[in-house]
Amino acid sequence: MSSSNLAGETQIFRRLGPKPASAARSPFALAPTGAGTGARAVAQLRHDLHLFMRQESVAQPHETDARRLAVLLDMYEVLHSLTEGPARWESRAAATLARALESYTEELQAEPDQASASAMRTLAQGIDLLANLLERHTPGLEEVGAAPFVLVVDDEPLSRRLAKLGLERAGLAHISLDSSTEAAELLQRQRFDLVLLDMHMPDLDGCELCRRMRKMAFHAATPAVFVTGQNDLKARAQASLSGGTDFIGKPFHCGELAVKALGHILRARSPRPLGDTAIFTLAGVTGSPAGTNASTSPRLAGV
């Protein structure tokens, strides 16, 4: 690796983290501690985000940039008030997700050029899930077995290191492999809660690995997140057809990976659906307080 590349890589890691949590203990292993706090604030934030996602497609670029910054600031203030305030969380799952979302929104405010449409969708999905967790604590969600375990399969060392930072931030234990052939063998012997796999690898490509995984009894429904190029639409279509659950663009932000990983594991472990209720709906906004579609955010109203 050249000195210039090494310097660039060092800057990436200095900027993105790590902000590790203990991976030895499940981030979801906390018994209920009382009534949830902040559910209304998060529900309102979810409503504003849904409205923003609908309006963004018809907004002018300069309007979109200003509105994204306003949304990020609103998100950060709500999440920070929850994570730093006196709230007693019903579950470590909600607390961990809120901290991951808070960290990611703070970083995107500092790097607004990284606040892409994909990043905003990831945040909207995370807020939607957090609102569901706060609105209705799901019995048994925190006691469903051992700490989550993630498999990372990527032949690029930098991608594996970024994945490590993101998963550590989410408090998720993981194992990394640079060979998809070895990964296929390991998947036959061991259960994982999430698989993060590169699209293009020299032995088995990501699609073939995912197809094999879907034929394994205990990985037929395991969330599989593909690492792909930001604009590689053909590859994304192939990944979806092979059984992929989601995508994350390369180069990815470890804050986005932390939010995605927590979200997919929480949804997969829940005995009841905790999906994204209206993020991609065109028919209308759901979850609106008092049945209104109007945003109550003063910052959004001003842009």
Q: 61 to each of 56, 65, 66, 116, 117, how far by Cα in Å? A: 9, 6, 9, 12, 12
pLDDT for residue 33? 37
Round the average pLDDT of the chain to a whole number and report it.
Answer: 77
pLDDT for residue 230? 60
pLDDT for residue 294? 46
For the chain, percent helix, then strand, then coil, each to nearest 5?
A: 55, 10, 35
The model's confidence at residue 269, banded by pLDDT at 50, 70 and 90, is confident
Domain 145-269 fold = Rossmann fold (3.40.50)
The model's confidence at residue 37, banded by pLDDT at 50, 70 and 90, is low
**Whether the predicted pLDDT of 186 surpasses 80:** yes
CA distance 303 to 300: 5
Tens of pLDDT, residue by residue over 252-264, are 899 999 999 999 9
Return the domain boundaries, the chain: 38-137, 145-269
Q: Which residue has the tokens 């018809």?
A: 58
pLDDT for residue 130? 92
Selection from 173, 83, 104, 96 nearest residue 142 by Cα: 96
Pairing of strands 224-229, 173-177: unpaired
Q: Which residue has the tokens 């049945």?
A: 291
The secondary structure element, H or E, covering residue 176 is strand 173-177
The secondary structure element, H or E, covering residue 49 is helix 39-56
pLDDT for residue 52? 85
The model's confidence at residue 75, banded by pLDDT at 50, 70 and 90, is very high
Tens of pLDDT, residue by residue over 237-252, are 888 999 999 999 888 8
Backbone angles phi, psi at 253, to 5 degrees: -90, 130
**Whether the predicted pLDDT of 168 surpasses 90:** yes
pLDDT for residue 250? 83
Q: DSSP secondary structure string, 95-155?
A: HHHHHHHHHHHHHHHH-GGG--HHHHHHHHHHHHHHHHHHHS--TTGGGSSSPPEEEEE-S
pTM of the model: 0.77
Tens of pLDDT, residue by residue over 95-149, are 889 999 999 999 999 998 888 888 999 999 999 999 988 877 654 444 455 789 9
